[in-house]
A and B are shown apart, each in its own frame.
Chain A
Amino acid sequence: MRSTVGAVPSSRAASPPPPAPPRRRRSYRLGRWDLSYSPYLYIAPFFVLFGIFGLFPVLYTAYVSLFDYELLSGTKEFAGLENYRELMADAQFWNAAYNTVGIFILSTVPQLVVALIIANLLNRQMRARTLLRMGILIPNITSVAAVGIIFALIFADRYGLINWLLGTVGVDPIAWRDNRYASWFAVAFMVDWRWTGYNALIYLGAMQAIPKDLYESAALDGASAWRQFWAITVPLIRPTILFTVIISTIGGFQIFTEPLMYGFGLVRGGADHQFQTLAMYIYERTFTGNAEYGYGSAMSWLLFMMIIIFALINFALVRRSVKGEQK
């Protein structure tokens, strides 16, 4: 025992520079840690913030959705899937889902098509090009509440601009709020007014990354401008199109302020809930009346699922149709 202990210094003295190896090993280890762990450290702020403000609320919402939880009366009792069962039979919820999908389709399809056309027009040599390119983004930077108020006036039933114009050419005024589809159209119009330019600018960015020689050789082969657009531009910006479709799906399903302002601030969304969207209905049940947090959380989770499903469906649809054009 003792001899072994005593032997240690002698063996250490034998090895060339005694303190050097550990230090070198430490810096080596630090270097390796730096290489393998610091990237995680650099992106950690996002994930920490996301965990606190994104993931935790989502999970907590799922937890709350299992309770009969009303803030006003203070009840909080475990209810299992009762909220979801009630939700399945809630006609107003499905009416709101119908409205949301309707407004979504009515706004997103024309919006993206028009954005694509505008982007293609702007992707040319023309005068005041930068001014025009920046100009189409202006509607997007206006406050959504202001847009809502102005369009609620334009689409007013009695003294509105559109009904007045229709009157001057002898057309009967349209019941912009009582008619379900008219109200959808007006809300979709507001959404498009704000977001078409934004999407056009994103498409334009993608189009400028397409090599010019592709168009040159297509032109040499005698392809028309239309053919070039469909056979070169659209397939090559497909990832961008997919991106805008997903983002529009997420935004479209959460539409809230536009229909709210359109209905003069009432979450009811028209006398018969003609344009009450899911977000409005969630707000109605969660933040007014009895403040039913449990039920509101269940609705939020179902909306979350619906957004994922619709995003996937849209993704598949667009991918397939755009691929078809490529051949």
Chain B
Amino acid sequence: MSVIRRRLRTVAVAALAAGVALGSTACSKKSEDEGSTGGGGQVKLVLQTFQNFGYDQAIKDFEAANPNIKVEHQKMGELRDFQPKLVQWLAAGSGAGDVVGLEEGVLLGYVQNHDKFANLLDLGAGELKANFPEWKWNNALTPDGKKLIGLGTDVGGLAMCYRKDLFQQAGLPTDRDEVAKRISTWPDYIALGKEFKASGKVKAAWLDSATSLMQPYVMQNSETFFFDKDNKFIGDTNPVIKQTWDLGLQMAADGLTAKAQRWSADWDAAFKNSAFATLPCPAWMTEGVIAQRSGPANAGKWDIATIPGGGGNWGGSYLAIPAQTKHPKEAYLLAKYLTSKEGHLAAFKEAGAMPSDIAGLEDPAFKDKTSDYFSGAPTGQIFGASVKNMKPVFLGAKHQQIWETIVEPQMQAAERGQISSEAAWKKAMDEARKAAS
């Protein structure tokens, strides 16, 4: 009797505990404040961003210029923490800020499902079109061109970061203009890598990982990536993708890559251990990723040259206004200010975010910027030119998901020799096709 009762009790405990844990899936968190009107006719806006947009000073300036608006800046942590919450708030119809930061990949998903966002063209954004590079503007535009859901914040101009000291050991030129000339195309870049390795004087590999090639190479050589302009999956038929895949894995087979999985602990350690000599680097990666991981011991050893092919973009964000806001006019004022030249330059100063505003790119505050860590390289000029040289590429709603969670991991497994290139390609494409549908 007591055994049975005890058993029942234990089972009940098990069921209860499991139920509580399971229940948390269905829970959602609402923000305490959704932008209410404060006293004295003041409007309170909530701005939600992820990571570090560098807006502390810009918000103070905005508030000084608009005394009737008060801005509460909620920093929501990493993108992957913020994104699921935002999806819930948008679906629930409350909780989202009056202005929210959207990463490029996230924004592209919302362009397809745009009914949760205000049309910025209705709020007067049409006049701002000339301020941005065409592709940055068009990314946030619905296919019919009638609705704009975001204004561009930063961009990720591309360059080639390289280890001057390792180049010298291998007997290669070290001057950044000289290097840029020697790697002006990707075949030249690979040829120089072979020369680097053939010198026999360095232990380091040429490139961190075969997958590093994919983003810049495809962006320069194709107008589409995994999707065509009707958002149909074409990853398996776009010849440039397979070409880049093969090119990268051939470099790995030739021993030119360090085979470090990007964003892993090994990759971090590879910077400190000087395990590779070059890395295609977007602007946000220089101080935030490379300098941080390489550490003070390697200061002055890195330098930056123009990327093979001349230009490109990797990443960047937007500000959007959820349709649920009660103050669309004031929210638009804020978004407009933060994406103006002043807002961009303030964010650049505070967080190193590279402006997407054309006037901002030309401003001495950005253009004359040099980096001490990267041997005094003129980062403003190099990255600015890269963004102006780039062609627009259509990415599609699920680009980021397919690249980051499917194609890159499979390509890395093939690079490490865990699976043949052909088998990995087939798996990646099968999975991507499924995710795209």
Quick one: given A71-B88, A158-B266, are A246 and B14 in contact (CB under 8 Å)?
yes
Interface: A82 (CB within 8 A): no
Q: Are B87 and A72 in contact (CB under 8 A)?
A: yes
Bound complex: CA A164 to CA B23 (Å): 43
Q: Are B13 and A271 in contact (CB under 8 A)?
A: no
Q: Are A249 and B23 in contact (CB under 8 A)?
A: no
Q: A50's contact among B10, B20, B112, by CB below 8 Å, is which?
A: B20
Contact string, B316-346, partner A, CB cutoff 8 A, digits 1/0?
A: 0000000000000000000000000000000
Residue on B with the closest CB to A53?
A: B23
B409 surroundings in chain A (CB, below 8 A):
266, 268, 270-271
Q: Are A61 and B264 in contact (CB under 8 A)?
A: no
Contact string, B84-123, partner A, CB cutoff 8 A, digits 1/0?
A: 1001101100000000000000000100110110000000
A234 shortest CB reach to chain B, Å:
17
Bound complex: CA A282 to CA B409 (Å): 19
Quick one: given A61-B23, A246-B13, are A264 and B264 in contact (CB under 8 Å)?
yes
Interface: B273 (CB within 8 A): yes
Contact string, A217-253, partner B, CB cutoff 8 A, digits 1/0?
A: 0000000000000000000000100110011011000
Residue on A with the closest CB to B273?
A: A159
A307 surroundings in chain B (CB, below 8 A):
14, 18
Which residues of B (16-72) have their CB < 8 Å from a CB of A? 16-27
B17 surroundings in chain A (CB, below 8 A):
247, 250
9-residue interface stretch from B126-134, B184-192, B410-418: B410-418
Bound complex: CA A300 to CA B112 (Å): 28
Q: A297's contact among B25, B91, B413, B435, by CB below 8 Å, is which?
A: B25
Q: Are B19 and A178 in contact (CB under 8 A)?
A: no
A127 shortest CB reach to chain B, Å:
37
Q: Are B19 and A54 in contact (CB under 8 A)?
A: yes
Bound complex: CA A250 to CA B15 (Å): 9
Quick one: given A57-B27, A178-B413, are A308 and B15 in contact (CB under 8 Å)?
yes
Q: Are A175 and B416 in contact (CB under 8 A)?
A: yes
B406 surroundings in chain A (CB, below 8 A):
268
Q: Are A53 and B20 in contact (CB under 8 A)?
A: yes
A310 shortest CB reach to chain B, Å:
10
Contact string, B388-423, partner A, CB cutoff 8 A, digits 1/0?
A: 000000000010010011100110110010110000
Interface: B180 (CB within 8 A): no
A69 shortest CB reach to chain B, Å:
9
Q: Are A74 and B265 in contact (CB under 8 A)?
A: no
Residue on A with the closest CB to B408?
A: A271
Bound complex: CA A56 to CA B23 (Å): 8
B18 shortest CB reach to chain A, Å:
5
A308 surroundings in chain B (CB, below 8 A):
14-15, 18
Interface: B304 (CB within 8 A): no
Q: Are B14 and A264 in contact (CB under 8 A)?
A: no
B96 shortest CB reach to chain A, Å:
13
Q: Are A159 and B266 in contact (CB under 8 A)?
A: yes
Which residues of A (48-90) have their CB < 8 Å from a CB of B? 50, 53-58, 60-61, 64, 71-74
A296 surroundings in chain B (CB, below 8 A):
25
Q: Are A249 and B14 in contact (CB under 8 A)?
A: yes
Interface centre among B6, B113, B427, B435 (most CB of A within 10 A): B113
Q: Are A61 and B22 in contact (CB under 8 A)?
A: yes
B7 surroundings in chain A (CB, below 8 A):
315
Contact string, A165-181, partner B, CB cutoff 8 A, digits 1/0?
A: 00000000001001000
Q: Are A57 and B398 in contact (CB under 8 A)?
A: no
Quick one: given A71-B88, A175-B418, A247-B17, are A159 and B265 in contact (CB under 8 Å)?
yes
Interface: B146 (CB within 8 A): no
Bound complex: CA A266 to CA B410 (Å): 13
Residue on A with the closest CB to B19?
A: A58
Q: A61's contact among B20, B26, B91, by CB below 8 Å, is which?
A: B26
Interface: B218 (CB within 8 A): no
Q: B405's contact among A57, A152, A266, A300, by CB below 8 Å, is which?
A: A266
Q: Are A50 and B16 in contact (CB under 8 A)?
A: yes
A58 surroundings in chain B (CB, below 8 A):
19, 22-23, 26
Q: B25's contact among A73, A153, A300, by CB below 8 Å, is which?
A: A300
Q: Are B21 and A254 in contact (CB under 8 A)?
A: yes
A250 surroundings in chain B (CB, below 8 A):
14, 17-18, 21
Q: B263's contact among A157, A178, A264, by CB below 8 Å, is which?
A: A264
Quick one: given A178-B418, A242-B10, A308-B15, are A303 and B80 in contact (CB under 8 Å)?
no
B401 surroundings in chain A (CB, below 8 A):
288-289
Residue on A with the closest CB to B113?
A: A73
Bound complex: CA A270 to CA B409 (Å): 7
Interface: A291 (CB within 8 A): yes
Interface: B269 (CB within 8 A): yes
Bound complex: CA A300 to CA B18 (Å): 10
Q: Are B269 and A159 in contact (CB under 8 A)?
A: yes
Q: Are A312 and B11 in contact (CB under 8 A)?
A: yes
Interface centre among A50, A158, A268, A312 (most CB of B within 10 A): A158
Q: Are B405 and A268 in contact (CB under 8 A)?
A: yes
Interface: A205 (CB within 8 A): no
Interface: B270 (CB within 8 A): yes
B413 surroundings in chain A (CB, below 8 A):
178, 271-272
Bound complex: CA A178 to CA B409 (Å): 11
Q: Are B16 and A54 in contact (CB under 8 A)?
A: yes
Interface: B260 (CB within 8 A): yes
Q: Are B109 and A72 in contact (CB under 8 A)?
A: yes
A53 surroundings in chain B (CB, below 8 A):
20, 23, 27
21 contacts between A and B (CB under 8 A): A53-B20, A55-B19, A57-B23, A57-B25, A71-B87, A71-B90, A73-B112, A156-B264, A158-B269, A159-B265, A160-B265, A178-B416, A249-B14, A254-B21, A264-B264, A271-B419, A282-B25, A284-B405, A286-B25, A291-B87, A315-B10
Chain B residues in contact with chain A, CB under 8 A? 6-7, 10-11, 13-27, 80, 83-84, 87-88, 90-91, 109, 112-113, 115-116, 260-261, 263-266, 269-270, 273, 398, 401, 404-406, 409-410, 412-413, 416, 418-419, 427, 435
3 nearest CB pairs, A to B: A57-B23, A271-B413, A159-B269
Chain A residues in contact with chain B, CB under 8 A? 50, 53-58, 60-61, 64, 71-74, 152-153, 156-160, 175, 178, 239, 242-243, 246-247, 249-250, 254, 264-268, 270-272, 282, 284, 286-289, 291, 296-297, 300-301, 303-304, 307-308, 311-312, 315
